[in-house]
Structure 1
Amino acid sequence: MLILHESFGRLMNGATVSGLLVNSTTGKQTDVAVEIQGLKQLDSVHRWDLQVLKRSGGSGEAVPLEVEVRWEHSTPVLVIENQTLPSVGPFSCRAVVYNHSVIASWKTSEQRGTFSGSLDPSRKSFEGKHFVIERMGEATRDWWTGSDWSDNPIDAKWYDQEPFATLETDDETAHTIYYPNGLVDQ
């Protein structure tokens, strides 16, 4: 799994997304909160299984959705296309997640609207892998992939315990970096 996908999965698992849902058809505005109970990558690079629990006025059952995640650089764009939701019917949506904010446009067979809100990651999603091995030159920054160096942080290998960088890489310039949120700062 690419580091970008792993970071995305850890950011989203257990997160709460809350904000304002605007129904452009009826003009109604509703405060909404949902919890992402599970997110895992499927067999395709872009396909993910998303388990969503509606927290504000919901039934308490997680709704499974198959989501396509496309990337604009390091920003995920979630695509839901004609998924059937309980008591809603066919539902389509495009959502951009950036800097812990979510902006979305959605539609059903009879209505359409927008959503804007925030993403509050679960602290438990960051438990575990926090370490990567890096090396820096005068104008470069490389990440250890487990077998070689890459100038792309997406390729970095994550460690749950602090590795001894010079032994792991056989490179005297290598050093271990701790990222408390499990996400590479660029």
Structure 2
Amino acid sequence: MDTRLNTDGDLVGDVTTGETHKGALRDLMLAPESFRDGEQDDIAYWVESDHNGVEQGQSGGLFFGVSHLHAGTVGDEFIFTRGHYHEARDTGEYYWGLAGDGLLLLHFDDGNEKLLPIGPGIVRYIPGNVAHRLINIGDDTLSVGAVWQAVSGHDYRGALVFKSHVMKTGEGYRVINK
């Protein structure tokens, strides 16, 4: 069966799906005490990947997937992905917005961080040696497509380097650096 990308950003076909619950983000949040009872069990985001027969680490192989982040906050902090470096640190990745309103947070090895808008039609190149995280600042699910090399791998210890936290304020957001 062929894999298809629907207009809403869902992958259909031979797809692998993984979920991350809000509780997995607890130690990465500015105010982890902001969780309400039972909220840690809620799904924060899920990732769909095309099962194309390529194996992790396969030279010349590419992976294709879509990350979907639920809208909302924990306390005042917007929902985000854990974020990561690549295990093969020098490999890059492409992201492009499919639905929703979000930010791409980039963390450079010199400690600087940059927030870039991501939404429908916006394409972002993430260079190697840069940790990256998605943040949903909208009222709807943020869906972002991605292509990365099969040799890239994911180093989620990179989630510990981010210092920017995006907080909801009225109709917008503000960034707090920790």
Query: Taking structure 1 as the reference length, what is the TM-score of the superposition?
Result: 0.26
Larger Rg: 1
Query: Taking structure 2 as the reference length, what is the TM-score of the superposition?
Result: 0.27
